[in-house]
Structure 1
Amino acid sequence: MKQCTSVKFSGHALRRMFERSLSTEEVIFTIQTGETITDYPDDKPHPSELRLGWVDDKPVHVVVAQNQANNECYVITAYVPSPDIWNEDFKTRRN
Protein backbone atom coordinates (compact mmCIF):
# COMPACT_ATOMS: atom_id res chain seq x y z
CA MET A 1 0.00 0.00 0.00
CA LYS A 2 1.31 3.39 -0.97
CA GLN A 3 1.30 6.27 1.51
CA CYS A 4 -2.26 7.53 2.01
CA THR A 5 -2.90 11.12 0.93
CA SER A 6 -5.84 11.12 3.36
CA VAL A 7 -7.71 8.62 5.52
CA LYS A 8 -11.50 8.48 5.58
CA PHE A 9 -13.61 6.33 7.88
CA SER A 10 -16.86 4.61 6.96
CA GLY A 11 -19.76 4.93 9.40
CA HIS A 12 -19.43 1.19 10.04
CA ALA A 13 -15.73 1.57 10.88
CA LEU A 14 -16.37 4.43 13.28
CA ARG A 15 -19.14 2.51 15.08
CA ARG A 16 -16.95 -0.60 15.40
CA MET A 17 -13.95 1.43 16.55
CA PHE A 18 -16.07 3.08 19.24
CA GLU A 19 -17.43 -0.31 20.37
CA ARG A 20 -13.89 -1.72 20.46
CA SER A 21 -12.24 1.29 22.12
CA LEU A 22 -9.95 1.99 19.16
CA SER A 23 -9.05 5.58 18.37
CA THR A 24 -8.62 7.09 14.92
CA GLU A 25 -4.95 7.70 15.86
CA GLU A 26 -4.42 4.00 16.61
CA VAL A 27 -6.03 3.00 13.33
CA ILE A 28 -4.01 5.50 11.27
CA PHE A 29 -0.83 4.36 13.06
CA THR A 30 -1.67 0.76 12.12
CA ILE A 31 -2.19 1.76 8.47
CA GLN A 32 1.11 3.65 8.40
CA THR A 33 3.32 1.18 10.28
CA GLY A 34 1.55 -2.17 10.06
CA GLU A 35 2.13 -5.00 7.65
CA THR A 36 -0.23 -6.38 5.06
CA ILE A 37 -1.31 -9.90 5.99
CA THR A 38 -4.03 -10.38 3.36
CA ASP A 39 -4.68 -8.65 0.02
CA TYR A 40 -8.14 -8.29 -1.50
CA PRO A 41 -7.26 -7.03 -5.02
CA ASP A 42 -10.74 -7.71 -6.42
CA ASP A 43 -12.65 -5.66 -3.82
CA LYS A 44 -14.83 -2.95 -5.29
CA PRO A 45 -14.77 -0.04 -5.72
CA HIS A 46 -11.11 -0.18 -4.59
CA PRO A 47 -8.69 -2.99 -3.74
CA SER A 48 -8.26 -3.46 -0.01
CA GLU A 49 -6.03 -5.24 2.47
CA LEU A 50 -5.96 -6.47 6.02
CA ARG A 51 -3.13 -4.84 7.98
CA LEU A 52 -1.68 -5.92 11.31
CA GLY A 53 -0.10 -3.33 13.54
CA TRP A 54 0.90 -3.05 17.17
CA VAL A 55 -0.21 -0.20 19.39
CA ASP A 56 1.79 -0.48 22.59
CA ASP A 57 1.54 -4.26 23.08
CA LYS A 58 -1.93 -4.56 21.56
CA PRO A 59 -2.42 -6.16 18.12
CA VAL A 60 -4.74 -4.22 15.82
CA HIS A 61 -6.27 -5.35 12.53
CA VAL A 62 -7.46 -2.76 10.01
CA VAL A 63 -9.19 -3.47 6.71
CA VAL A 64 -8.38 -0.52 4.47
CA ALA A 65 -9.08 0.21 0.80
CA GLN A 66 -7.05 2.59 -1.32
CA ASN A 67 -8.15 4.57 -4.36
CA GLN A 68 -5.30 3.97 -6.82
CA ALA A 69 -6.03 7.22 -8.68
CA ASN A 70 -5.42 9.58 -5.76
CA ASN A 71 -4.13 7.32 -2.95
CA GLU A 72 -6.99 8.21 -0.60
CA CYS A 73 -7.52 5.46 1.98
CA TYR A 74 -10.85 4.27 3.32
CA VAL A 75 -11.07 2.38 6.60
CA ILE A 76 -13.66 -0.38 6.29
CA THR A 77 -13.29 -1.84 9.78
CA ALA A 78 -10.81 -2.12 12.63
CA TYR A 79 -10.59 -4.49 15.59
CA VAL A 80 -8.34 -6.15 18.12
CA PRO A 81 -7.98 -9.73 16.82
CA SER A 82 -9.15 -12.49 19.15
CA PRO A 83 -6.60 -15.16 20.13
CA ASP A 84 -9.50 -17.62 19.86
CA ILE A 85 -9.66 -16.95 16.10
CA TRP A 86 -6.06 -15.98 15.28
CA ASN A 87 -2.77 -17.79 15.90
CA GLU A 88 -0.19 -16.25 18.25
CA ASP A 89 1.30 -14.15 15.45
CA PHE A 90 -2.15 -12.66 14.67
CA LYS A 91 -1.29 -13.13 10.99
CA THR A 92 -3.01 -16.47 10.37
CA ARG A 93 -6.39 -17.82 11.41
CA ARG A 94 -6.65 -20.90 13.58
CA ASN A 95 -8.07 -24.02 11.95
Structure 2
Amino acid sequence: MIEIKTLQSYYTEDKVLMTQHSSERCRQRGIKIKDIRHAIMDGEIIEQYPDDYPFPSCLIFGYSVDNKIIHVVMSDEGTGSRIITAYFPDPEKWESDYKTRKETLK
Protein backbone atom coordinates (compact mmCIF):
# COMPACT_ATOMS: atom_id res chain seq x y z
CA MET A 1 0.00 0.00 0.00
CA ILE A 2 1.45 3.36 -1.03
CA GLU A 3 1.48 6.07 1.62
CA ILE A 4 1.08 9.76 0.74
CA LYS A 5 3.89 10.64 3.19
CA THR A 6 6.27 8.43 1.18
CA LEU A 7 5.38 10.21 -2.07
CA GLN A 8 5.69 13.59 -0.37
CA SER A 9 9.16 12.68 0.90
CA TYR A 10 10.22 11.62 -2.62
CA TYR A 11 9.08 15.00 -3.86
CA THR A 12 10.92 16.87 -1.09
CA GLU A 13 14.08 14.84 -1.79
CA ASP A 14 13.85 15.53 -5.56
CA LYS A 15 13.31 11.84 -6.35
CA VAL A 16 10.31 12.28 -8.64
CA LEU A 17 10.65 11.97 -12.41
CA MET A 18 8.23 13.25 -14.99
CA THR A 19 8.20 11.37 -18.27
CA GLN A 20 8.16 13.17 -21.59
CA HIS A 21 4.67 11.75 -22.17
CA SER A 22 3.30 13.04 -18.87
CA SER A 23 4.97 16.42 -19.42
CA GLU A 24 3.33 16.72 -22.82
CA ARG A 25 -0.11 15.70 -21.48
CA CYS A 26 0.12 18.23 -18.64
CA ARG A 27 1.15 20.95 -21.08
CA GLN A 28 -1.88 20.12 -23.26
CA ARG A 29 -4.15 20.25 -20.21
CA GLY A 30 -2.74 23.49 -18.81
CA ILE A 31 -1.33 21.78 -15.70
CA LYS A 32 1.94 23.17 -14.37
CA ILE A 33 4.60 21.47 -12.23
CA LYS A 34 3.66 23.72 -9.32
CA ASP A 35 0.05 22.43 -9.59
CA ILE A 36 1.25 18.84 -9.35
CA ARG A 37 3.52 19.63 -6.41
CA HIS A 38 0.69 21.42 -4.60
CA ALA A 39 -1.68 18.47 -5.17
CA ILE A 40 0.87 15.96 -3.88
CA MET A 41 1.99 17.94 -0.84
CA ASP A 42 -1.58 18.70 0.33
CA GLY A 43 -3.49 15.84 -1.26
CA GLU A 44 -4.70 12.38 -0.38
CA ILE A 45 -4.57 9.00 -2.06
CA ILE A 46 -8.04 7.96 -3.26
CA GLU A 47 -7.23 4.81 -5.26
CA GLN A 48 -4.43 2.25 -5.12
CA TYR A 49 -3.19 0.28 -8.14
CA PRO A 50 -0.93 -2.37 -6.56
CA ASP A 51 -0.80 -4.49 -9.71
CA ASP A 52 0.33 -1.73 -12.08
CA TYR A 53 3.39 -2.66 -14.13
CA PRO A 54 6.27 -2.11 -13.74
CA PHE A 55 5.59 -0.46 -10.34
CA PRO A 56 2.55 -0.01 -8.10
CA SER A 57 0.85 3.36 -8.48
CA CYS A 58 -1.95 5.38 -6.96
CA LEU A 59 -4.37 8.20 -7.70
CA ILE A 60 -4.01 11.38 -5.66
CA PHE A 61 -6.81 13.89 -5.15
CA GLY A 62 -5.58 17.43 -4.56
CA TYR A 63 -5.85 21.03 -5.63
CA SER A 64 -3.88 23.13 -8.10
CA VAL A 65 -2.34 26.39 -6.93
CA ASP A 66 -5.44 28.23 -8.15
CA ASN A 67 -7.69 25.86 -6.16
CA LYS A 68 -8.96 23.64 -9.00
CA ILE A 69 -9.44 19.97 -8.22
CA ILE A 70 -6.71 17.89 -9.82
CA HIS A 71 -5.91 14.18 -9.96
CA VAL A 72 -2.31 12.95 -10.14
CA VAL A 73 -1.25 9.36 -10.82
CA MET A 74 2.15 8.48 -9.31
CA SER A 75 4.18 5.33 -8.99
CA ASP A 76 6.15 4.14 -5.98
CA GLU A 77 9.37 2.59 -7.23
CA GLY A 78 10.90 1.95 -3.82
CA THR A 79 13.47 4.74 -3.85
CA GLY A 80 11.62 7.32 -5.90
CA SER A 81 8.53 8.01 -7.94
CA ARG A 82 7.31 8.90 -11.39
CA ILE A 83 4.44 11.15 -12.41
CA ILE A 84 2.38 9.01 -14.75
CA THR A 85 -0.26 11.61 -15.53
CA ALA A 86 -2.27 14.49 -14.11
CA TYR A 87 -5.67 15.77 -15.15
CA PHE A 88 -8.70 17.78 -14.12
CA PRO A 89 -11.35 15.14 -13.32
CA ASP A 90 -14.40 14.85 -15.56
CA PRO A 91 -17.68 15.40 -13.64
CA GLU A 92 -19.29 12.79 -15.93
CA LYS A 93 -16.96 10.14 -14.47
CA TRP A 94 -16.72 11.24 -10.83
CA GLU A 95 -19.20 11.82 -8.03
CA SER A 96 -19.51 15.40 -6.72
CA ASP A 97 -16.68 14.82 -4.21
CA TYR A 98 -14.35 13.95 -7.13
CA LYS A 99 -12.99 11.13 -4.96
CA THR A 100 -15.50 8.44 -5.93
CA ARG A 101 -15.88 7.05 -9.43
CA LYS A 102 -19.40 6.93 -10.77
CA GLU A 103 -20.78 3.47 -11.37
CA THR A 104 -20.67 2.52 -15.03
CA LEU A 105 -23.53 0.59 -16.54
CA LYS A 106 -22.51 -2.45 -18.54
Normalising by structure 2, we get a TM-score of 0.81
1:15 pairs with 2:24: yes
The CA deviation string for residues 31-88 of structure 1, in whole angstroms up to 9 with x for no partner, is: 22210000011212221100000123310000000111x2x11000000001111111
Question: Which consecutive unaligned segments of at least 5 residues does structure 2 have?
Answer: none
Partner-residue secondary structure (3-state), 2:98: coil
Instruction: Name the structure 1 match of 2:45.
Output: 36
Instruction: Name the structure 2 match of 1:76.
Output: 84
Identity %: 35
Q: Give the partner amino acid of 2:23.
A: L
| More strand per residue | 1
Q: Give the partner amino acid of 2:68.
A: K
Question: Which consecutive unaligned segments of at least 5 residues does structure 1 have?
Answer: none
- Computed over aligned residues only, the root mean square deviation of the Cα atoms, in angstroms, reads 1.2
Structure number with the bigger relative contact order (C-alpha 8 A, sep ≥ 6) is 1
Q: Larger C-alpha radius of gyration, 1 or 2?
A: 2
The CA deviation string for residues 6-51 of structure 1, in whole angstroms up to 9 with x for no partner, is: 2111122111100110001111221222100000112122211000
Instruction: Name the structure 1 match of 2:77.
Output: 67
| More helix per residue | 2
User: Is the CA contact (8 Å cut-off) linking 1:7 and 1:28 kept in structure 2?
Assistant: no
Q: When the two structures are aligned, how many residues end up with a matched partner? A: 93
